Structure 1
Amino acid sequence: MRLENILALTQGNLLGAPTVSIFENVVFDPSKVKRGSLFVAYSADEIPEALLHGAYGVLFDRPTQIADSEVAWIKVENIDAALKKLLRFYLLEKELQVYACDPITLHLSTMITTPPSFCNVEGSMREVWEKLWPLEKKAIVLFSPTLTDPDIFIEHSQLIRAQENTITIIEQTLFETSFIHNDTFYERQMLSPFFIPYLEHLLFFYTFLRIPFQIRGFSKMGHFIPVFTNARMEIKEFGTSERVVIFEPLLELIDEQIDFLDAQASWAKIICLLPETMRSALTIGVDNILFYRYPEEIIALLQSRDFHFALVAGVDKSVLRPSRSSMKQLELDFF
């Protein structure tokens, strides 16, 4: 990576008159810097260690003491914005096949084993860089525009969606599913049937593009998260109480999840807690819907109503508290 290209792409300012003109790699961890590296300094405190290991350049966006005039000190307005411009340019030669999808489909893809020629991407700019930069030419990338800036890629296509059902559900509860796909039986997967349509599209995508895959199990989806509780809103072991608080951080999924609960648990008392900001944009009925202004209000609202299932939008389960008898259960993979 040439210094002149970095300056042109990032519109960075070169401080000093370094003798270096090319870098071997881009490194974020100062302990992994080698002679010839360009070190990305999110923290000025890490620069001395990077220099000690032989960094040829430092990319930074905050006031920093220039410690070595032979090093290329590149001052940019914003590190993440600079990295995006660099990555966008240098990915051109990789000719990646990039596909966009929703966050749930992307999260499902992280739980399925695939070869190195396929990459699912999300996270900070640093995490995105570290995943995309080593990819082989013509690799397939899956990302969600909700979670990752699509401008990183010159172009992308939408996920190829299934035209017919290939998953047969054998047995289900609200939070577990046993199903068959391609003559393989997957028993008691910790995956709500709510996610099966998303999984259907993902597996079709893999099949259509001839991406080998292996399903080993599902956990920690980060969406539609069930937490069993008692009347005091203390967390209990999975399956040991008749009250379940379901957390969903993604507000745009709430309508779909309410419809799912109404269809799959028509016998149950269901309530929904939404942030006050959603009141004016609500597209569903208002029966059994409560609004909270602050997360601290949620426990009191839950205690004020009798319910079997409470769908809570916009927060995570940290608003609840574990009971003494269930503290050890909090490490369960399901949560």
Structure 2
Amino acid sequence: MRLENVVAVTGGRLLNTPSISRFDSVALLPSKATRGSLFVAHDTDEIEEALKNGAYGIITDKQPVVTDDEVAWIHVKNLDAALARLLRLWLVINPRKFLFVPPVIMEFLHLLVSDHEALLLPAGTLEASEKILASKEEQIILCDDTLFLERIGASVMEPKKKEVDFTLVSDHLFESSFILDGVYHERVPLAGPMRQIFKEAVALLEAWHIRYTLSRLAHTPSFMPVFVDIFMNPVPFGSGEQVFVFCSDSLPADSFAYLNRIKWTESKLFLPTQIKFQCDIKMERFLYENEMELLDSLHTPLKPGFYIFAGMKSDYFFDLVGTTAEKTTVTKGLF
């Protein structure tokens, strides 16, 4: 990338008259800087290390001390915005193949993908940008953030459609037995409300010829069952009579409707008033304005039953109550 193009694209101001005129790479961590790199400095304390590693330029929204006139020092008003524009320029020079994936499907992909030719972007602009800059031309880059893709000007490929060879053998609330592409999988941790989303994840992988494995399949944050004791302390899977189920409010309505099958025990649905929830789910509902109101409604000792929380992640909930969700595997024979 030529220096004048970087300055123009980022809307930056060149603070000196350097001897260099171009950059060979972009580095977001000082340890990743090499000879010829442009270092994106969120922290001025990292600049010295980047320079020692051979950086040819520094771009920052701080007020740096120009310590080496041979390298380029570029000041911008907003470094995050400048990084997005810098990625746009980088992608013009280094085209990449992007694919948008809905977040609920991406959760499964993180568990399934075993192919190095598929790159799953993490959450967070800085982390995702670092992955892109380290990517290879032959990789397919999967991202669940449409706003980020728009900001960096990514060329997103059209999705492919494929039917999955899937036959359900037995249906349990928190696990499924099925035949997938001729292979039998017995009682894996795949909840009924998530089966269709799982099939869409597999269809995507097969359509793009991305290798995958079911060996790490587990419940995802969008539908996370956690067994607890009467005082809301998480216990090993299947060992309690109280089950907290944490669901994303972005799940399809039929995923929630599936929960209507719970007939053998009491069930209660907890909803924040900020969520517009439109689903004909036949169970008692509790609407709450804030987290304290939610916690006050959960009287201990808890009665046996299902407590379903829409729009809340399990880790966040247990942080509120001061405990930690159990990360154990499904016990055979549950439900």
Q: 1:208 to 1:235 in 2, by over 3 A?
A: closer
Q: 1:65 to 1:257 in 2, by over 3 A?
A: farther
Listed one character per residue, the Cα deviations across residues 105-133 of structure 1 (whole Å, up to 9, x for unaligned) are 11211222343332222322222222223
Q: 1:252 to 1:89 in 2, by over 3 A?
A: same
- Residue 279 of structure 2, aligned match among 275, 281, 284: 284
Q: Give the C-alpha shift of residue 285 in structure 1.
A: 5.5
One-letter code aligned to 2:294: I
8 Å contact from structure 1 (residues 102, 146) kept in 2:
no
1:261 lines up with 2:256 in the alignment: no
Instruction: State the partner residue of 1:206.
Output: 205
Q: 1:182 to 1:155 in 2, by over 3 A?
A: same
Listed one character per residue, the Cα deviations across residues 20-73 of structure 1 (whole Å, up to 9, x for unaligned) are 222232222223322322211122222232223332211212333333333311
Unaligned runs of 5+ in 1: none
TM-score, normalised to structure 1, is: 0.84
Instruction: State the partner residue of 1:177.
Output: 176
Listed one character per residue, the Cα deviations across residues 236-264 of structure 1 (whole Å, up to 9, x for unaligned) are 2211111111123x4222744421211x4
One-letter code aligned to 2:113: T
Instruction: State the partner residue of 2:64.
Output: 64
Q: 1:131 to 1:321 in 2, by over 3 A?
A: closer
Q: Distance in 1 between matches of 2:47 and 2:117?
A: 34
SS of equivalent residue, structure 2 residue 251: helix
Instruction: State the partner residue of 1:297.
Output: 293
One-letter code aligned to 1:121: L
Alignment RMSD, CA only? Answer: 3.0
SS of equivalent residue, structure 1 residue 226: strand
Q: Give the C-alpha shift of residue 271 in structure 1.
A: 1.3
Q: Give the C-alpha shift of residue 290 in structure 1.
A: 1.3
One-letter code aligned to 1:223: S
Instruction: State the partner residue of 1:7.
Output: 7
Instruction: State the partner residue of 1:271.
Output: 268
8 Å contact from structure 2 (residues 176, 188) kept in 1:
yes
SS of equivalent residue, structure 1 residue 106: helix
1:310 lines up with 2:307 in the alignment: yes
Q: Distance in 1 between matches of 2:118 and 2:188?
A: 24
Q: Distance in 1 between matches of 2:321 and 2:11?
A: 55
What is the percent sequence identity of the aligned residues?
A: 28
Q: Distance in 2 between matches of 1:323 and 1:98?
A: 40
Matches within 5 A, 1:13-32: 13-32=13-32
One-letter code aligned to 2:251: L
Q: Distance in 2 between matches of 1:276 and 1:200?
A: 32
Q: Distance in 1 between matches of 2:280 and 2:45?
A: 53
Q: Give the C-alpha shift of residue 226 in structure 1.
A: 1.3
SS of equivalent residue, structure 1 residue 303: coil
8 Å contact from structure 1 (residues 7, 13) kept in 2:
yes
Q: Distance in 2 between matches of 1:247 and 1:289?
A: 15
Q: Distance in 2 between matches of 1:7 and 1:95?
A: 21
Q: 1:55 to 1:178 in 2, by over 3 A?
A: same
One-letter code aligned to 1:271: K
Listed one character per residue, the Cα deviations across residues 130-172 of structure 1 (whole Å, up to 9, x for unaligned) are 222333335423222358443434432453344x452222234
SS of equivalent residue, structure 2 residue 250: helix
Listed one character per residue, the Cα deviations across residues 267-289 of structure 1 (whole Å, up to 9, x for unaligned) are 342211122212xx332359522
Q: Report the more deviating stretch, 239-248 or 153-162.
A: 153-162
Q: 1:219 to 1:45 in 2, by over 3 A?
A: farther
Instruction: State the partner residue of 2:244.
Output: 245
8 Å contact from structure 1 (residues 41, 47) kept in 2:
yes
TM-score, normalised to structure 2, is: 0.84
8 Å contact from structure 2 (residues 193, 259) kept in 1:
no
User: How many residues end up aligned between the 2 structures?
Assistant: 327
Q: 1:81 to 1:106 in 2, by over 3 A?
A: same
Q: Distance in 1 between matches of 2:93 and 2:117?
A: 16
Q: Distance in 1 between matches of 2:270 and 2:51?
A: 52
Q: Distance in 1 between matches of 2:146 and 2:59?
A: 27
Instruction: State the partner residue of 1:41.
Output: 41
Q: Give the C-alpha shift of residue 182 in structure 1.
A: 0.8
Instruction: State the partner residue of 1:130.
Output: 130
Q: 1:66 to 1:220 in 2, by over 3 A?
A: farther
SS of equivalent residue, structure 1 residue 186: strand
Unaligned runs of 5+ in 2: 331-335
Q: Distance in 2 between matches of 1:93 and 1:35?
A: 19
8 Å contact from structure 2 (residues 241, 305) kept in 1:
yes
